Every structure is written in structure tokens, then in C-alpha cells.
């Protein structure tokens, strides 16, 4: 048989198998989750198929009820002009509103049990079911899925994922939003250590950002700390297989926390702390949340110890849906490109963030470290927004640098500061005026084909993101940079404002954006100089958006001036 004939037969066989698969999907009335992520991210390698009897943990997102009503309630409890302002829903209130219909719960549960699913458990809101199945059972249950083991990321972690899309039986499609644990790979940290800037002479200079530099720039005095007498608390969440060490936090506070009252240990770790080396990102989050929000009880949500088939970010969302008493402020340095996520997944995660906002939780997400981002669509370059930074239900934090990197001066744009316009979420009403003002007045707008001017625009605020000192694995490390630094700093400042509100008998701030935009960024230092990075082509030449007076999609409304911000947010 000639080589050409063999190749021809192989192509024919491949075509026939493809047609057969299509026939089976149609014949059995299977419905795919649209736009499932199937491209392998850079740095990940397949180790081959997983043994058919290996156990998997999969999470099924059940279709919720009354999502429109939930959105209305978020607006009511977050708008200072509303009679319901600050009257947040309890977890039980949210559950009563969104829990799936009895038909949905019964249909999905029956389907899973018939497939041999074991140890299924739900959450208080009953809109997630997590079950254990063997690989063989999961591949029969989710037609088209094929589980492989992958290794990748800086820590060489192992995950189990399917490179192929799955299909739900059509009878199940109206009841399930998505199945977690199949496609999404853990993102890698974009935190970077920059070279130390060169400068001559050292009189009156600082040698990098420390808690004392933060407190000096943002006008925090030694008295601006938690009282230790309230139930006020704050949290950071980690999803990158990183750990913090108590000894690093203690050493950090010994070196840099001598001028203000602080706590030298975390109040509670939710999840398991691994025994490996500390990660710079994890160390940074804890050290700067606890030094900006000084002397306030702090929780850490830690993802290590998870099963290879679980998605850490999804596990954190499940925890929020299962705990009645939670910290008031959560800071999260996590993000994915919007276009890498399925529509079903991104919309459902947005609803989970909406649930948190209804309960009065302040969720702060890093805006990302790629400026406006860049990708090619049909041969045309466009900016690339990030999610959850682009969710209309979180407060997104961008990044700044000192104009002089060795002096506590006014701030300018940190060129890595993530920002732009969502291609998924329409612009929420609370920011329409601010965005319109920016678009009509900015002298440096990129071509309109690069961004969706009618999308949710971010970030909302900013803080210093350049040149931090971090203690990790007992070693002080200088010049660490990224919006992973600015986010816990802004979160700590909001926790101090919550302290004052709680002591005066008021509710915590909750979802901040409606109030922030109504007040036109009152209490923030406006950042008006600098642009962030974007596509390296002739048309935009690496430049994305530029900052200017008022709100902009690089630094939002600006960085915190604590006394002024406290004054603007203490009442009502």
C-alpha cells in the first residue's frame, strides 16, 4: 500500500469518526456548554489519559432562580440614596431567593445518582452540587469528555482536565449552568520583581515601598489602626498553589511594623496550608493587608491541598455560599482573560459575585498586570479585558508608581496597571456618567476598534503597585511589583473605614461602586499622568489608555487619601 493511499484512508477514517460522534450527539439529544475552554495554556504538558478508575471531584452549577430580582436588591442595598441602603441580605435570604427549583434539584440529583456519583454535597444556597465519580463514570456522564493529567505552572503542579468539550443530555441543559473541574487551568502569577532603579545620593530617600511608606503617602497616622473591640475582619484569598508562613509575617512586622499597632498572626486559615516553601504572592497579600488594615482580624483562604480535579477559585466561591459569618472585606489577586472563559461560566461566576454584594461583602480584585492586554481577532489586534476584574459587582484595583521611585511624591500610572472595557458585561448605570466624561475628554484615546466603549469599564480605584519589600522564606525581598500589591493595600484601608462605621453603629461599606461613582471619587488622590501598555504594533505602538482628570480606565478614581476618604464614606 502506498504512503498516499494510507494517508487517504486515515483521513477518511477520521472524517467517518467525526461524523459518527456528531450523529451520536444529535441522536442522544446532547447539548454542549458553549465556548468551553479547550486550548492548552502555555507551560502546561499532558502526561496522558487518566486511569479509568481514578476518582474525580466535579462541581455542578445548578440553574438559579430570581437572578434579576437579586440584581435589583444589590442596587438597593448599595445605593446611599435608597431607603434599603446598608440593609444587607443574610445568607439565608439569598438562599431563599436564588435556590434552584425543586424540579431542577431533583432532576440533577437523580441524573448524578443514576450515573454512580458518590458523596454528593451541596451548599446553603443549594445551587452547587459537588460529587465524586470515577473517570469512567464521568466520561459516560459527560459525553465527549476525556480526562488527561497535566503538569505545569512555576510550581509544576498536577491537574486533571479534559481537552475535549463535554455535552449534557438535552433534558439536563435547562438545569445546569456548567460543570466545574473539566477545562479551566490555574492561572499563573504575574507578580514581578523589577530591577532596582538607579539614583545618586540618598538624603531624604526611601529604598522601596514598606508599610511606613504606604502610611505616609496615604496619610495614615499611628492611631489609624483597628480598635480590637469590634467583630470587624478582612480576608485575602490565594489560588496559585502558594503558601504564606507565620514566621515570615512575624519577621515582616518586626522589620516594618514597629510604628503602628498590629497583629503578628492570622486569625483564621480557611483551607489547608501546605508545608512547602512560601510564595512571594501569598506573603505579599497577607503582609500588606495586615499592615494597611493594621490590628484588624484577618483570615486567609488557602487553596493548597485540593484534589487535582478541583478548581481553587470555584472552591472559594462555594465557601462564600456556605458560610453565614464572613469577613467584610475580601481582596483577591486572581484573573483570567475574558475570552478564555465560556459564556455560561463567566455569567454564573458574575452571579456569585452579585450574591456576595447583596450580603454586604466588599470584594476587591486586582486589575491585572498586562495593561490593556492584547490579542488578535480575525487578524485584527484588540485589547484583552480580564475577569473577574471586569465584573460589575466587584471593586477593581489598578496600580501606580511614585513619580520619583525613591521619594514619597505624587503618583503616576504604573505601566502594567490592568484596565479597559469588558466585551461581556454592559456598562453598569453607576459609571455611565464617568465613562462618558472620559471618552469625550481624553486626548489620547486608542482607535475605537480596539475596545468596547459600551462595556463595563475598570479599574475603579488604584494604589501603589511598584517596588514593594516582602519577607518570604525568611528573606526580605525588594522591588516586588504588581496589582497583587495594590489590592490588599486598598482593602486594608477600607477595613479601617469599616472599623469607624461599625463603632458608630453603621453597617459595613458593602459593595462600594455605586457610592464611589456617585461621589465622583471623593477622598481619593486623582492620578493624571501616565499611560499603560498594550499591543506592540504600528497602530498603537504599545500604548493603551492614558490617565487624566477624574475617572480613567488605568487608575480609576485614584488612590486613597485616608482622612478624606474616611470623611466621605463614614456617613450614612
Annotated binding site: 526-527, 550, 552
Q: Is the peptide bond before 388 cis (omega within 30 degrees of 0)?
A: yes
Active-site annotation holds for 285: yes
**SS3 of 72, please?**
helix
Active-site annotation holds for 460: no
Contacts of 56 (CB under 8 A, 6+ apart): 132, 133, 134, 135, 138, 147, 160, 181, 307, 309
Q: Are strands 524-525 and 30-32 parallel, antiparallel or unpaired?
A: unpaired
SS3 of 289-336: the string is HHHHCCCCEEEEEECCCCCCCCCHHHHHHHHHCCCCCCCCEEEECCCE
Q: In what order do the strands lie in the sheet with 44-49?
A: 44-49, 148-152, 157-161
Q: Which residues are annotated as a binding site for Ca(2+)?
A: 526-527, 550, 552
Residue pair 175/100 in contact by the 8 Å Cβ criterion: yes
* Distance, CA of 210 to CA of 448 (rounded, Å): 40
Question: Cell numbers 459600551 correspond to what residue?
Answer: 454
Taking each helix axis as running N to C, give the angle between helix 246-256 and helix 280-292, from 0 to 180 degrees, rounded to the nearest 10.
50
User: Where are any strands of DSSP class E within 507-563?
Assistant: 524-525, 531-533, 543-546, 559-560
Give Dmax (Cα) for the chain. 87
Instruction: Exactly one of 189, 367, 386, 484 is catalytic; name it.
Output: 484
**SS3 of 152, please?**
strand
Instruction: Exactly one of 281, 338, 411, 499 is catalytic; name it.
Output: 281
* Distance, CA of 554 to CA of 545 (rounded, Å): 7
Residue in 373, 292, 299, 293 with CA at minimum distance from that of residue 340: 373
Question: Cell numbers 486550548 correspond to what residue?
Answer: 39
User: Where are any strands of DSSP class E within 17-170?
Assistant: 30-32, 44-49, 55-62, 118-122, 128-134, 148-152, 157-161, 167-169
**SS3 of 46, please?**
strand
* Cell numbers placing 7: 494517508
Q: CB-based burial of residue 301 (10 Å sphere; 0-12 exposed, 13-18 middle, 19+ buried)?
A: buried
- List beta partners, residue 278: none
Instruction: Exactly one of 33, 224, 241, 285 is catalytic; name it.
Output: 285
Active-site annotation holds for 417: no
* Residues tagged active-site: 281, 285, 484
Amino acid at each position: 500500500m502506498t504512503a498516499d493511499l494510507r494517508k487517504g484512508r486515515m483521513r477518511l477514517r477520521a472524517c467517518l469518526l467525526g461524523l459518527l460522534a456528531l450523529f451520536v450527539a444529535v441522536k442522544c439529544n446532547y447539548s454542549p456548554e458553549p465556548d468551553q475552554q479547550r486550548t492548552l495554556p502555555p507551560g502546561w504538558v499532558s502526561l496522558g489519559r487518566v486511569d479509568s478508575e481514578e476518582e474525580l471531584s466535579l462541581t455542578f452549577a445548578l440553574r438559579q432562580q430570581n437572578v434579576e430580582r437579586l440584581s435589583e436588591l444589590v442596587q438597593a442595598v448599595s445605593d446611599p440614596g435608597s431607603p434599603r441602603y446598608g440593609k444587607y441580605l443574610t445568607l439565608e435570604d439569598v438562599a431563599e431567593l436564588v435556590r434552584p427549583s425543586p424540579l431542577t434539584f431533583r432532576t440533577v440529583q437523580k441524573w448524578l445518582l443514576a450515573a454512580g456519583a458518590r458523596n454528593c454535597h451541596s451548599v446553603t444556597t443549594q445551587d452547587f452540587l459537588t460529587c465524586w465519580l470515577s473517570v469512567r463514570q464521568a466520561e459516560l456522564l459527560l459525553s465527549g469528555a476525556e480526562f488527561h493529567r497535566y503538569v505545569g505552572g512555576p510550581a509544576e503542579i498536577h491537574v486533571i482536565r479534559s481537552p475535549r468539550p463535554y455535552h449534557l443530555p438535552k433534558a439536563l441543559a435547562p438545569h445546569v449552568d456548567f460543570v466545574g473541574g473539566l477545562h479551566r487551568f490555574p492561572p499563573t502569577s504575574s507578580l514581578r520583581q523589577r530591577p532596582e532603579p538607579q539614583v545618586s545620593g540618598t538624603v531624604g530617600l526611601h529604598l522601596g515601598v514598606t508599610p511606613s511608606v504606604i502610611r505616609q503617602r496615604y496619610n495614615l497616622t499611628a492611631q489609624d489602626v483597628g480598635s480590637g473591640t469590634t467583630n470587624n475582619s478582612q480576608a485575602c484569598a490565594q489560588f496559585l498553589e502558594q503558601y504564606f508562613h507565620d514566621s515570615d509575617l512575624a519577621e515582616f512586622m518586626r522589620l516594618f511594623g514597629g510604628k503602628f499597632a498590629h497583629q503578628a498572626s492570622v486569625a483564621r486559615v480557611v483551607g489547608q496550608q501546605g508545608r512547602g516553601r512560601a510564595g512571594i504572592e501569598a506573603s505579599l497579600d497577607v503582609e500588606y493587608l495586615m499592615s494597611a488594615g493594621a490590628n484588624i482580624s484577618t483570615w486567609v483562604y488557602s487553596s493548597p491541598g485540593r484534589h487535582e480535579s478541583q478548581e481553587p477559585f470555584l472552591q472559594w466561591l462555594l465557601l462564600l455560599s456556605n458560610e453565614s459569618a464572613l469577613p467584610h472585606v475580601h481582596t483577591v489577586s486572581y484573573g483570567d482573560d475574558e475570552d478564555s472563559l465560556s459564556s455560561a461560566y463567566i455569567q454564573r461566576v458574575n452571579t456569585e459575585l452579585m450574591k456576595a454584594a447583596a450580603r454586604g461583602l466588599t470584594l476587591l480584585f486586582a486589575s491585572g498586570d498586562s495593561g490593556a492586554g492584547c490579542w488578535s481577532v480575525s487578524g485584527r489586534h484588540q485589547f484583552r479585558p480580564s475577569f473577574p476584574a471586569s465584573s460589575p459587582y466587584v471593586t477593581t484595583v489598578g496600580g501606580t508608581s511614585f513619580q520619583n521611585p525613591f521619594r514619597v511624591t505624587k503618583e503616576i500610572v504604573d505601566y502594567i496597571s490592568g484596565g479597559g472595557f469588558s466585551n461581556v458585561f454592559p456598562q453598569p448605570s453607576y459609571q455611565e456618567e464617568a465613562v462618558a466624561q472620559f471618552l469625550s475628554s481624553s486626548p489620547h484615546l486608542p482607535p475605537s476598534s480596539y475596545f468596547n466603549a459600551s462595556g463595563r469599564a475598570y479599574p475603579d480605584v488604584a494604589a501603589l503597585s511598584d517596588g514593594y519589600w516582602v519577607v518570604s522564606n525568611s528573606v526580605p525581598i525588594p522591588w516586588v511589583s504588581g496589582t497583587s500589591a495594590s489590592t490588599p493595600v486598598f482593602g486594608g484601608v477600607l477595613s479601617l473605614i469599616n472599623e469607624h462605621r461599625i463603632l458608630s453603629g453603621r453597617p459595613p461599606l458593602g459593595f462600594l461602586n455605586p457610592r464611589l461613582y456617585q461621589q465622583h471619587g471623593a477622598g481619593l488622590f486623582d492620578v493624571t499622568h501616565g499611560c499603560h501598555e498594550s499591543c506592540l504594533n504600528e497602530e498603537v505602538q504599545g500604548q493603551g489608555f492614558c490617565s487624566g482628570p477624574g475617572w480613567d480606565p488605568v487608575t480609576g478614581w485614584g488612590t486613597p487619601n485616608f482622612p478624606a476618604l474616611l470623611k466621605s464614606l463614614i456617613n450614612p
